[in-house]
Amino acid sequence: MSASSAFNDEKGGSSSVGEPEYGHDPASGGIFSSDYKRHDDLKEMLDSNKDSLKLEAMKRIVAMIARGKNASDLFPAVVKNVACKNIEVKKLVYVYLVRYAEEQQDLALLSISTFQRGLKDPNQLIRASALRVLSSIRVTIIVPIMMLAIKEAASDMSPYVRKTAAHAIPKLYSLDPEQKDQLIEVIEKLLADKTTLVAGSVVMAFEEVCPERIDLIHKNYRKLCNLLIDVEEWGQVVIINMLTRYARTQFLNPNINEGGGGEKTFYGSDEDEDEDEEEKEKKPYVMDPDHRLLLRNTKPLLQSRNAAVVMAVAQLYFHLAPKAEVGVIAKALQSSVLEPGMFEPYLKSFYIRSTDPTQIKVLKLEVLTNLANETNISTILREFQTYIKSMDKDFVAATIQAIGRCATNIGEVRDTCLNGLVQLLSNRDELVVAESVVVIKKLLQMQPEKHSDIIKHMAKLTDNIQVPMARASILWLIGEYCEHVPKIAPDVLRKMAKSFTNEEDIVKLQIINLAAKLYLTNSKQTKLLTQYVLNLAKYDQNYDIRDRARFIRQLIVPTEKSGALSKYAKKLFLALKPAPVLESPFKDRDHFQLGSLSHLLNAKAGGYQELPDWPEAAPDPSVRNVEVKESVRAVGTVTYRDTGALWGPQKMEGSEGCSFPRASDSASGSESGSGSEESGSGSESEESEEGSESEEEEEEEEEKDKKKKKKELKKPTIAPSSVLKNYELLHRITGEGLSVEYCFSRQPFSPDANMVAVQMQFTNSATSDTKNLHMEDVKLQSGMRVKEFPEIGEREPEDIQCTAMAVMGIDFCDSTQAANFQLCTHTRKFFVSIQPPVGELMRPIFLTENEFKKEQGQLMGMNEITEKLTLDAKCRNEHAIVQRVTTAANLSRVPCGSDKECRFAGRTVTSSSLVLVTVATKEEGAAQLTVNCEKMVIGTMLVKDILLALTQ
Amino acid sequence: MIHSLFLINHSGDIFLEKHWKSVISRSVCDYFFEVKEKAVDPENVPPVLQTPHHYLISIYRGKLFFLSVVQTEVPPLFVIEFLHRVADTFQDYFGECSEGVIKDNLVTVYELLEEMLDNGFPLATESNVLKEMIRPPNILRSVVNTLTGGSNVGDTLPTGQLSNVPWRRAGVKYTNNEAYFDVVEEIDAILDKSGTTVFAEIQGVVEACVRLTGMPDLTLSFMNPRLLDDMSFHPCVRFKRWESERVLSFIPPDGNFTLMTYHVSSQNLVAIPVYVKQNINFFETGSCGRLDITIGPKQNMGKTVEGLMVTIHMPKVVLSANLTATQGNYTYDLTTKVLVWDIGKLNPQKLPNLRGSLSMQAGAPKPEENPSLNIDLKIQQLAISGLKVSRLDMYGEKYKPFKGVKYLTKAGKFQVRT
């Protein structure tokens, strides 16, 4: 490749990134010569003032980095472009910087000021990426700058920036562990954050920086449990693993009194309000409501699509749940080696296919072996028989071992297994035979007296089997049980003596062993043979064998010099040996947390946190109680909810947050984070609520006092507007003179509280009479119901004044589906339909400010919708807003401490789901609308309608 | 957590490396190559390897190894799942996940990896979010961008990142609003020599392609939801509605996604659509063997079985096959020793049959195991478990979308032992 090809590159257009010349082996020497020149081109391109050229150059440079080529000499040229306006160029420069800054620390410093500027950018994405890059540049000299940036970002308005701050914490920690104390402060602050976005990342930071500071979790425990389901998948894994450890330190072992305990505890949590006063040791075990909260809130995650989440929940249940409940994880988890029994119903899921990869086969085999018991062993053995024929020989060997383990564990089938294995001895494959011999040897040791024929059979095999391990095993067996085969044993030794010099080392050792044993039991026949073998061994190349021969000779052949030991030779050699226990290779890893890397490798990986044992007595559960104001103050910062200036007392602190750029786009998510103060007590969990009930009440009282004072200052609540909108049901012309209008009267419909009252007004402008006005053929969506209006008699023509009114009730099932029916007179039928605006599907309710906040806190996450809007010019005052909102939706005003905010509340008519609306106004007509409603559909539609009402 | 990522092709070249913390030399991969050499099949490479200073966690997808390096404790499944998500994202962006395509889009790939992980911890993995930050390649746009100097990178934070429904981007608009669902079921089964079912289960998946304007809220209900067992859901599905009403209620991501996967494992519910009569013999003498396979319909609910194919991994000693098929073609690959019989549509009147002789290496002992048969098949418009979608309702938007459900049954790991 010459300069000309480089020249072509330059003109190559945008897609030249994938050009073949880059694809070549990066190490091929030919490139280096042209590299230098090419870099000159790139430098030129980077220096040009055309963004497209710069972009092109950066793309090529990044492609070089991706391929692992060195592009470090371009550093000065690249770093100049860090402030480039083009966002893609900028991003690619960031990529470059992060890669090379560590190598070129001095030059990297040139870029720092750009990032510092970026940290103040009104665009939250820019703020976040500036922090990301700044924290990824591993240059020690900027540690103080990083620290400052992280601290600032941790109280940024945008949850995304705060998330980035959480990510930056471990980066700084790995760069300079001395910052730990300061970083813990930031972690503490971020742990108090109520957005799901931040939760996962900050727990990750916690795990990397200060996993031992379990006390930081107390106040956030309940919040984390409650947010968990809305956190993104990766965060869920980290949080669940951390909470498993936390629970092990804070709660009692649910299986402490095995058996009886399990059932009771399931419901036990209902009646343990005053648990702390009582002495736990003497009481039967009662599960801490917080422990229950964790188990309950993680359970639905077993249905996550993410296997890592499922595994995390499974290990949580395995380590924390009462025995009776662990079963729930079995179905979700069919690929792990856990306690047998639990998986028994799923036995067949572990049957092996010939196409499975070997490691899967071995794992499945392990599971099958662990699941084997008296009842299913015959099925499993039949299955094993097919495996033995497999072409994958490693797998066959594993299967034979598995059979051996089944045979040792289940006494009933020992003989069957043994017979099966003996049959395998005539297998053509040597590996299979060898493995069988090894396993048979182990099995025979358990009851040798019964099986002398098998031993004989094996003795014959020595002629054929070449696998050393198998030969060695056979020899050992014969030696060990030579009294069972007194005739054959010396003959075997004879053959072995002949082939001694050609045997493998382990076989030689066993030959010596056999010789020694035979010498001791049957010296008459074997004395000479033994001598011969020992002589051969004496001159063997392997010193182990020479040593062994020397040792044995001294021991067994009596001479004058032989010491006291030789008397005991027989005892030494022919002692009764205990039968071996065939063990799973997967044993002994129980002490690692399930699903962890350490568990898999059966070795402690760096950064592994031990799962502590359950405490003897539960630590004080009240540490997890959360008090609103205290928690806010304790972390010394403002939750972004407060920067929205909700109530007076915190507004002062809120100003601190205001010093940050208030980007117009950064506010959108901020409301969503307004997790309730009470969220710790579990949103819909009655059981767990008791624990914190008392201080909630106190709080409420405080709130009430506060509110009373405020009420004096604020305007009284404005009643729902009485202006009702009329809709046309039947036009005069289509109705041939009969026109019908309807409105939603917003009165409770007395016959059925679940129905929306629809008031209809009939006007007859035709020339003829209209009689028997009634409804027919009502077509409704499933679930909807209609209460028809009573039949209306005659309507005189021309009597315009005399209009008739009727009220009907419709249960719309909280949907805006139309109710279709026919309006019948004595002569005609008209098809009509009534479709309610979403605002009419609710009825107003009265809430106090505190109740409102509490309810709102429970309708977070997916139940909350936030929109930004610019208010219509005529609608800039509070009165107009209230007017318009209440016209759009049948809601009532909720008193509020701030004049920047209007709140409304209602319940849907059918299901009584809460509907909470907040309109927060800002300068210059900007405003933010938040709707919290359990029924998301209603919520979304309501947002649209109110938006329309406020902007037009 | 995840320290570095290496993409390695089939022949062992590292063609992409990305580091999220300080740079780890690519020589760390040598440990991996060592193991890979030993393993006959790429699938047999253990997913987790331990080296003196690092742990290597890898997956094998589309003939590529995604090898990540970690240094500290991390749940291995976390990494494996993430690597699969990376591969899924490439597939989603470029239509396939192969070496060529990744090399062609190296910069986009790099930008994606940059966004997906921060300091080794996943940052943005939702396809809808990523697509707002880094637009997928598209010929028209690349032309426009070259002319105008525009870029493929978004400059504002994707709305999904902050919303309660991170998987859906805001401001979606379509002129044709459509929602299609594919119910695909795979039968995993093992049949023994005599044709009795040793094991059978159904792995089902509901794939969705939703292109709807605005923020639709969908409810998908089934005629017989009780069939389903062991489901896992896309994060958009509301667990509570499923638990209480057995309906799938969700605000869908925009575009293609997997809504749910499920198992049907109780054996009497799993219908086996075909039966296989087979007779494979190797003779002790004469170094040859006979093969005779007939396939017929069994429980196929009155639908036609299509795409029928039989794959047999022959023992190494089989040199060639001399067979006649009454329907379809057969091929025998001499190097891999794989016999493939592509039958096509199953005609119940005239059952397809393949018979003939196999010649073996002279003097080689007869293989002790008969090779098992892997069956492939397809049945259109049928979910073999009997699962049926009863209705799809949309709330929250006013327009009427086009809706459609397709069913498909396939053979998964369907093996007949001989």
Q: Give the tens place of pLDDT for each residue, A109-151.
A: 888 888 888 888 888 888 888 898 888 888 888 888 889 999 9
Find the closest chain A residue to B367 by CA distance. Answer: A391
Token reading at A17: 């990134």
Comparing CB atoms, the residue among B14, B39, B81 nearest residue A68 is B14
Residue pLDDT, tens place only, B12-35 = 888 899 988 888 888 888 888 888
Of residues A763 and A215, more confidence is placed in A215
The predicted model gives A171-199 an average pLDDT of 88
Per-residue pLDDT band at B288 (split at 50, 70, 90): confident
Mean pLDDT of A465-486: 80
pLDDT of residue A713: 39
Q: A379 to chain B: which residues are within 8 Å by CB?
A: none
Residue from B31, B25, B24, B28 nearest B45 by CA:
B31
- Measured in angstroms, the CA of B350 and the nearest CA of chain A are apart by 30
Task: Please write the tens of the pLDDT for every residue from A354-379.
Answer: 666 777 777 777 777 777 777 777 77
CA-based nearest residue to B318, from B359, B365, B364, B368: B359
Interhelix angle for B106-116 vs A87-100, to 10°? 70
Q: What is the model's pLDDT at position B7? A: 92
Q: Are B20 and B117 in contact (CB under 8 A)?
A: yes
Q: Which residue has the higher pLDDT, A639 or A724?
A: A724
pLDDT digits (tens, 9 = 90+) for A193-250: 888 888 889 999 998 888 888 888 888 888 888 888 888 889 999 999 899 888 888 8
Under a CB-based contact definition with an 8 Å cutoff, are residues A74 and A39 in contact? yes
CB A942 within 8 A of CB A917: yes
| Residue B391 per-residue DSSP state | E
Cα(A248)–Cα(B108) distance, integer angstroms:
44
Tokens coding A562: 């032989």
Mutate to test the interface with A, among B119, B260, B269 (most CBs of A within 10 A): B119
Is the predicted pLDDT of residue A673 greater than 50, yes or no?
no
Query: Do the Cβ atoms of A92 and B107 come within 8 Å?
Result: yes
Are the CB atoms for A290 and A222 separated by under 8 Å? yes
Distance CA A854, CA A857 (A): 5
* Dist CA A108 CA B374 (whole Å): 59
* Most confident listed range (A390-404, A667-681, B379-393): B379-393
Residue A780 has pLDDT above 90, yes or no: no
Regarding beta strands B402-416 and B178-191, do their DSSP bridges make them parallel or antiparallel, or are they unpaired?
Answer: parallel
The single residue listed with the structure tokens 């002692």 is A575
User: pLDDT above 70 covers what percent of chain B?
Assistant: 92
Cα–Cα distance for residue pair A241/A262, rounded to 1 Å: 23
Please state the rounded mean pLDDT for residues A807-817.
82
pLDDT at A766 over 80: no
Residue tagged 């043994």 (tokens): A418
Report how far residue A864's alpha carbon sits from residue A939's, in angstroms, rounded to the nearest whole number.
8
Q: Is the pLDDT of residue A332 over 60?
A: no
On the question of pLDDT at A502 being above 60, the answer is yes
**pLDDT(A654) > 70:** no
Q: Do B232 and A310 make contact, defined as CB atoms within 8 angstroms?
A: yes
User: How many residues appear in chain B?
Assistant: 418
Say whether B314 sits in a helix, a strand or coil. coil
Q: SS in 3 state form for B337-348?
A: CEEEEEEECCCC
Q: Please indicate whether, in this complex, the C-beta atoms of A167 and B118 are within 8 angstroms of each other.
A: yes
Distance CA B394, CA B219 (A): 6
Report yes or no: B244 at the A interface, CB cutoff 8 Å.
no
Q: How far apart are CA A265 and CA A255, in angstroms?
A: 10
Q: In angstroms, what separates the C-alpha of A68 from chain B's closest C-alpha?
A: 6
Do residues A417 and A402 touch, judged by C-beta distance below 8 A?
no
HSE-up (13 A, CA, CB side) for residue A534: 24
Q: What is the pLDDT of residue B5?
A: 92
Q: What is the pLDDT of residue A796?
A: 52
Residues of A in contact with B395 (CB under 8 A): 815, 937, 941
**Cβ A330 vs Cβ A346: under 8 Å:** yes
Quickly state the pLDDT bin for A550 (edges 50, 70, 90). Answer: confident
Those residues whose C-beta lies under 8 Å from the C-beta of residue A504, and which sit 6 or more positions away, are A468, A471
Residue-wise pLDDT tens digits, A582-620: 666 665 666 677 777 777 777 777 777 777 777 777 777
pLDDT at B180 over 90: yes
SS (H, E, C) A811-835: ECCCCCCCEEEEEECCCCEEEEEEC
Q: What is the mean pLDDT of residues B212-222?
A: 89
- Per residue in B259-272, pLDDT tens? 998 888 765 667 88
Q: Of A14, A123, A603, which is closest to B145 when you measure between CB atoms?
A: A14
Half-sphere exposure of A347 (CA within 13 A, CB side): 19
Instruction: Residue B160: name the closest of B66, B80, B254, B240 by CA.
Output: B254
Q: How many CB atoms lie within 10 A of CB B188?
A: 20
Chain B residue numbers touching A91 (CB-CB < 8 A): 111, 114, 153
Tokens coding A931: 């709707």
Looking at per-residue confidence, does A579 or A597 come out higher? A597
Separation CA A827–CA A845 (nearest Å): 44
Residue of B nearest to A602 (CA): B50
* Closest residue on chain A to B163 (Cα): A669
Q: Which residues contact A161 (CB under 8 A, 6 or more apart)?
A: A124, A127, A128, A131, A153, A666
Confidence at A793, pLDDT banded by 50, 70, 90: low
Any idea which of A88-92, A398-402, A782-786, B319-323 has the lowest mean pLDDT? A782-786
Q: What is the per-residue pLDDT across A429-460, written as a single tens digit (0 to 9) for each? A: 777 777 787 788 777 777 666 677 777 777 77
CA distance A423 to chain B (A): 14
Binary contact (B118, A128; C-beta < 8 A): no
Model confidence pLDDT, tens digit, residues B149-166 = 555 666 677 766 666 677
The band of A335, judged by pLDDT with boundaries at 50, 70 and 90, is very low
Nearest-Cα residue of chain B relative to residue A346? B265
- pLDDT (tens digit, 9 = 90+) per residue, A408-430? 777 777 777 777 777 777 666 77
- Verify whether the Cβ–Cβ distance B123 to A99 is below 8 Å: no
- Residue A449's contacts (CB-CB under 8 Å, 6 or more residues apart) are A484
Q: Do A596 and B72 touch (CB under 8 A)?
A: no
Give the Cα separation of A352 and A215 in Å (integer): 47
Chain A hits for B47, Cβ within 8 Å: 359
Percentage of the residues of chain A whose pLDDT score is greater than 90 = 2
CA distances, A199 to each of A97, A215, A667, B122 (Å): 29, 17, 18, 13
The answer to which of A5-14, A640-649, A743-752, B121-130 has the lowest mean pLDDT is A640-649
Chain B residues with beta carbon closer than 8 angstroms to that of A865:
164
Per-residue model confidence (pLDDT) at position A688: 40
Interchain contact, B151 vs A55, CB within 8 Å: yes
CB A493 within 8 A of CB A455: no
pLDDT value for A105: 82
Which of A57-61, A190-194, A762-766, A863-867 has the least mean pLDDT? A762-766
| Residue A13 pLDDT > 50 | no
Q: Which residues of A touch B149 (CB under 8 A)?
A: 50-52, 55, 86
With beta carbons under 8 A apart, name residues in chain A contacting B365.
428
Residues in chain B within 8 Å Cβ distance of A14:
142, 145-146
DSSP state of B355: E
Q: Across residues B189-204, what is the average pLDDT?
A: 84
- Are A51 and B149 within 8 A, CB to CB? yes
In B192-346, which ranges are E strands?
197-211, 217-222, 229-233, 247-250, 255-264, 274-282, 288-297, 306-313, 318-325, 329-333, 338-344
List alpha helices for A357-461, DSSP H: 358-371, 377-388, 393-409, 414-424, 430-444, 452-461
Residue A339 pLDDT exceeds 70: no
* CA pair distance A80, A923, nearest whole angstrom: 39
Q: How distant is the Cα of A598 from the closest Cα of chain B, in angstroms?
A: 7
- Binary contact (A601, B368; C-beta < 8 A): no
- Alpha-helix runs per DSSP H in B72-204: 76-94, 99-104, 106-116, 127-133, 139-148, 159-162
Averaged pLDDT for residues A377-394:
77
List alpha helices for A813-924, DSSP H: 849-858, 878-888
In this complex, which of B162, B190, B372 lies closest to A159 when CB atoms are compared?
B162
Question: Region A57-65: what's the mean pLDDT?
Answer: 87
Among chain A residues, CA nearest to B149: A52
- Asked if residue A58 lies in contact with residue A81, where contact means CB atoms within 8 angstroms, the answer is yes
**B241-260, pLDDT tens digit by residue?**
888 888 889 989 888 888 99
The label of the residue with tokens 């003497």 reads A282
Specify the amino acid at residue B322.
Answer: N
B395–A608 CB contact, under 8 Å: no
Q: Do A201 and B55 touch (CB under 8 A)?
A: no
Categorize the per-residue pLDDT at A795 as very low, low, confident or very high, splitting at 50, 70 and 90. low
Total residues belonging to chain A: 952
Average of per-residue pLDDT values in chain A = 73
Using alpha carbons only, how large is chain A's radius of gyration in Å?
41
Q: Which chain B positions have a beta carbon within 8 Å of A357's beta carbon?
A: 41, 43-44
CB contact under 8 A, B164 and A241: no
Region of A912 on the Ramachandran plot (φ > 0 left; ψ -120 to 50 alpha; else beta) = left
Which CA distances in Å does B361 have to A392, A546, B289, B321, B367? Answer: 20, 46, 11, 12, 11
For residue B41, give the nearest of A102, A357, A389 by CB distance: A357
Q: What is the mean pLDDT of residues A375-395?
A: 78
Higher pLDDT, A540 or A272: A540
Q: Is B265 in CB contact (< 8 Å) with chain A?
A: yes
- Sequence-distant (≥ 6) Cβ neighbours of residue A572 within 8 angstroms: A555, A565
Does residue B69 carry a pLDDT above 60? yes
pLDDT of residue A347: 61
Assess whether pLDDT exceeds 80 at residue A185: yes
Contacts of A460 (CB under 8 A, 6+ apart): none
User: How far off is chain A from B76, nearest CA to CA, in Å?
Assistant: 5
B258 touches chain A (CB under 8 A): yes
Question: Phi, psi at residue A112, to the nearest 5°?
Answer: -60, -40
Residue A167 and residue B121: Cβ atoms within 8 Å? yes
Provide the pLDDT for residue B184.
Answer: 93
Q: Answer whether residue A155 shows pLDDT above 90.
A: no
Q: Is B170 on the interface with A (CB under 8 A)?
A: no
Q: Which long-range contacts (CB under 8 A, 24 or more apart) does A547-554 make?
A: A548/A509, A548/A512, A549/A512, A552/A512, A552/A515, A552/A516
3-state secondary structure of B38: helix
Name the least confident of A565-579, A599-613, B186-200.
A565-579
State the DSSP H helix or E strand holding residue A929, giving kind and residue range, or none if neither: strand A926-933
Shortest CA gap B255–chain A (Å) = 18
Quote the pTM value: 0.64
**Residue A169 pLDDT level (bands cut at 50, 70, 90):** very high
Cα distance from A594 to chain B (closest Cα, Å)? 9
Q: Do B103 and A18 touch (CB under 8 A)?
A: yes
Subunit contact A597:B48, Cβ cutoff 8 A: yes
A210, A175 Cβ separation under 8 angstroms: no
